[in-house]
Structure 1
Amino acid sequence: MDDAQLLRYARHILLDGLGIEGQQRLLDAHALVIGAGGLGCPAVLYLAASGVGRITVVDHDTVELSNLQRQIGHGTARLGQPKADSLRHSARALNPGVQIHAITQRADAALLAERVPLADVVLDCSDNFRTRQAVNAACVAAGRPLVSGAAVGWDAQVSVYDTRPRADGTPAGPCYACLFPPEAAHEDVACNTMGVLAPLVGLIGSLQAAEAIKLLAHGGEPLAGRLLMLDARRMAFDSITLQRQAHCRVCGQPGHGHGPV
């Protein structure tokens, strides 16, 4: 790190459990963010501000007026622009020292199979069940940790799904499909029909960034194996323990989730 970087990231370098070694890991890391909406905006902005060296943002959508109530990486002047490009401009204005790549395509299986293995961590900031399942399957196949968040109405949740074998010999964690099987009946609940509290997506996207930073910097204890749920009406957090399912169609087969932690 040069003098400017040492000054920019001084508050991380001073942080017990992160320090200069952890900050250097962030600078050397690559994060893949699926979605540049309510969750993706705060997640990408905090990853960029924190010095994650390479960030790839995937989103096929464009900025609409109704997005601006909560999607803080966009502005009125960017209405009609691709969200991934808009968020890239905002993140680069915040920290021009990081590389941000925008992909204005839908996150389908082919794109994920290409992009997930190139990343050190994946953040699922999408808004539908099908994409979440596809992202999870790609992460399990490539052995990459997944930080998943969701929010609608007054309720939200966040977790880390990491199926890689542990270096200390403890069992690997569950994947997203262990909790939400892809074959189960599921009806997406969208913000455009249910509404969403604007700061709620900011809270969850920020938590996703925090979990990704811990994973990349090797600091703190990740949220793996736990689902953190937030009821913003009461501002109450609850947490439940998650278990890997031996019969899971995604991670239950031998060899899935390779690579030591």
Structure 2
Amino acid sequence: MTTTTTETETQVAQQLFTAYQTQHALTMADFTSSVVDEDAAYRVQAALTALKQQPVGGYKVSLTSAETQKMFDAHTPLYGVQVADHFLAAPTTVRRGQLMDPLVEVELVFKAKEDLSTTDSLTDLWQKTTVAPGLELPDSRFADWFPDLPKNLVVADAAVGGLVVYGTERETAELFASADAVATSKCTLVHDGGTVKTGQASEVLGNPLESLKWLVGKLAEQGKTLTAGQRVSSGTFVLPPHLTAGHWQADFDAGLGQVALDVTEA
């Protein structure tokens, strides 16, 4: 991957950063020819991350199911950098106005206990991480983005990164009997006491640890390492609904527990 950012890519990153700061949405049609391929999209994302001038807290992985890949005309996942203060410990309250056009996803959030390597197997990752139940709130700087935003613009826009709310973190290898067992966990997404969606971990590339492994490999291709202490929102169990005001929670089996979030309008 060429790391030199073109003038056009720098301009796109600046426009995304301005939208991020002002919450004035961009029109996707104005940018479809500005980000020519996935490598260009990751260069824009890197420039956008630099403009934020905040420590990186980890990553989110998107397009981890056949359904979402088809929606965005993609054949592989993609990732977005998440700044540290966009990972929130549950329970927490979020103002709807903090975000632009958010959705809500149910995910497993892994945290690396040590630097992760491309030589790590799923069993290695199972042993080298903690895991927590998570609610991710993907958001975009482009208007009317879901599900029509072109894949390269998804990547450029930090993989439509918003906020990640995570519950109690436990040793992955203590919670699950094996790496394969991670794929069996199930969840129920609840809003104001009513069930919205149910899902299971196998929707995430067959096993969320596969998503983590993919990310480690993709970062390595770009000369980066997933380092100790960084978190990864690994992919949604369900096709996400729009985030609305009220009490949201995700209830997980397998001893994961629940993660709760209150959303206010103001």
Task: Indicate the TM-score class for this superposition, using the shorter chain for normalisation.
Answer: under 0.3
Compare the two structures and name the one with the higher helix fraction.
Answer: 1
The two structures have a TM-score, normalised by structure 2, of: 0.26
Higher relative contact order (CA 8 A, sep 6+): 2
Compare the two structures and name the one with the higher strand fraction.
Answer: 2
The two structures have a TM-score, normalised by structure 1, of: 0.27
